[in-house]
Amino acid sequence: MNVAYRDLREFIGLVDDIGDLRRVSGASLMHEIGAITEVAAGDASCPALLFNDIPGQATGNRVFTNATVSARRAALALGLDYNLPALEALKLWKTRRTSLKPIAPVETKDIPVLENEARGQDVDLSRFPSPVWHKLDGGPYIGSGSVVLTQDPDTGWVNCSIYRVQVHSRNRVTIQFDHNGRHGAIISKKYWDRGQACPVAVVNGQDPSLFIAGFEYLPEGASELDFAGAIRGAPVEVFKGPLTGLPIPARAEIVLEGRLLPMAVESLPEGPFGEFTGYYAADSRPGPVMEVDATYFRNDPILFGSPPLKPPRFHFGLSFRAASIWSNLEAAGVTDVVGAWQHVSQLMTVVAIRQRYAGHAKRAALIAAAHSYMGRLVVVVDEDIDPTSLNDVMWAITTRAEPSEDVDIIRNAWSSSLDPRIPPAHRDIGLTSHSKMIIDACIPFQQLGTYAPTTALGIQEAQGIRQKWPQVFK
């Protein structure tokens, strides 16, 4: 199954075709674009937004946000039927994900991003829209949904991951790797240890397949460009960066090419920046500086913006991490998993099972908890509960879980320095674990045959009603 777009512009056209696009004129880069993005992401209609006529910017410069925040548009980006219920779309992606074959990029001479070019003293990043997304952010960020390309000097492996990029001057940005274990940080350090700057390209306005590949957890040596090709069902078209030789997507909107200086040579204060938890995780801290030696951009360029927003808003409307947990459960031999989902921006994991034996729910919960990054809450529900519906899940918790019997606490579990609840003193010395609460919200196994019958329609019955009476549920 191939996606129906070659670049961001074609994807925006598809979003417009399904009625999900809203155009916004006159919004300011200073907090306003970010604020409109946040409110729209939390609205029931959850539209994608295309900002134009931006004060202080050239006519034609635009910003596109909330691209894949809804389940409909996330499915569209993956080449799936956007009318599928969210859990069905996730299940289809989980199955397809296991059979994807990497497709290597191909070089092309059709390079729209080279329609305009600036080098050396002509580089001026102020010509591109760089919003201050949140009110306490440390400055403008051109990179909130951009991908950063680096190449391992030993193996030639090209990493293409999402890292935030803050603009500091006409030709300087900082790139924040979060921690030293990120692939981009590992590659950069190899150059720095040799006393060299790291060649780097920041790709802005890439198509959604590259955005998805950029935030997937791929192992070291695996190519995000190849993975994007697998999603697309066709190779990503690239050209060799004139200064770095990196394989740069030819149909991107804005590209910065240059050198990431060794931290021992120079750094600039980076951040703070609002995180996906809805909090600021750290104050300003030193960040590695990229000297931008050249910029390339299309006519009327579009910045792809994906700022972290207060939960439950999240950058992708289908729960990728839940799909991985679902696969982990099956790989561990847990049978009859009928669904998995994450709420509150992946901080709460829900697994739905068809109970086969006493202890089935607890087994699923323990494995899910072990794979729930930063999440403090893991809930297991029966097959009649839609794990994508927080209302359904809360109904199960309040009518099937007995707090004195069905709640367990796991201590010293997997978290992150982004966790706002971890004391700063602990974070500073690397103590970033936390506890996780497991709630067994399934009907007690010994009562499966005698529990009070429910008045509610089952998931499939409700879906059948929606299909029979579509005019009611537009």
* Residue of 188 and 43 predicted with greater confidence: 188
56 — pLDDT class (breaks 50, 70, 90): very high
E-assigned strands of 182-253? Answer: 198-204, 237-240, 247-249
Q: Residue 145's domain is classified under what CATH number? A: 2.30.110.10
- What average pLDDT score do residues 87-92 get? 94
Structure tokens at 283: 């104050």
Per the structure, the count of domains in the chain is 2
Amino acid at 363: R
Q: What is the pTM assigned to this prediction?
A: 0.91
84 — pLDDT class (breaks 50, 70, 90): very high
Structure tokens at 415: 């978290």
Q: Angle CA(176)–CA(180)–CA(184) in degrees, nearest 5? A: 60
Rounded-to-integer distance, Cα 284 and Cα 265, Å: 19
Is 21 a residue whose pLDDT tops 70?
A: yes
Residues 166 and 273 placed together within one structural domain of the fold: yes
CB 71 within 8 A of CB 88: no
- What average pLDDT score do residues 62-72 get? 96
H helices present in 278-423, as ranges:
320-331, 360-370, 390-400, 403-406
3-state DSSP assignment of residue 363 = helix
1 — pLDDT class (breaks 50, 70, 90): low
- Which is nearest to 72 in space by CA: 21, 146, 147, 1? 21
Rounded-to-integer distance, Cα 276 and Cα 347, Å: 10
Compute, in degrees rounded to 10, the torsion defined by CA atoms 315, 321, 323, 325: -170
Q: Give me the percent of the chain exceeding a pLDDT of 70.
A: 100
What is the pairing mode between strands 254-260 and 285-297?
A: antiparallel
Q: Residue 438's domain is classified under what CATH number? A: 3.40.1670.10
| Residues spanned by the domain of 137 | 8-305
103 — pLDDT class (breaks 50, 70, 90): very high
Rounded-to-integer distance, Cα 443 and Cα 361, Å: 10
DSSP string, 28-40: -TBTHHHHHHHHH
Residue 461 falls inside a structural domain: no
Question: What does the pLDDT read at residue 474?
Answer: 67
Residues 140 and 193 placed together within one structural domain of the fold: yes
Is 220 a residue whose pLDDT tops 90?
A: no
- What average pLDDT score do residues 119-144 get? 96
Instruction: Give the lowest-confidence range in 21-30, 112-121, 248-257, 448-457.
Output: 448-457
Residue 368 falls inside a structural domain: yes
User: Which residue has tokens 């030819």?
Assistant: 250
Amino acid at 136: L
Using one digit for the tens of pLDDT, what is the confidence trace for 305-321?
Answer: 999 988 888 888 899 88
268 — pLDDT class (breaks 50, 70, 90): very high
- What average pLDDT score do residues 372-386 get? 95
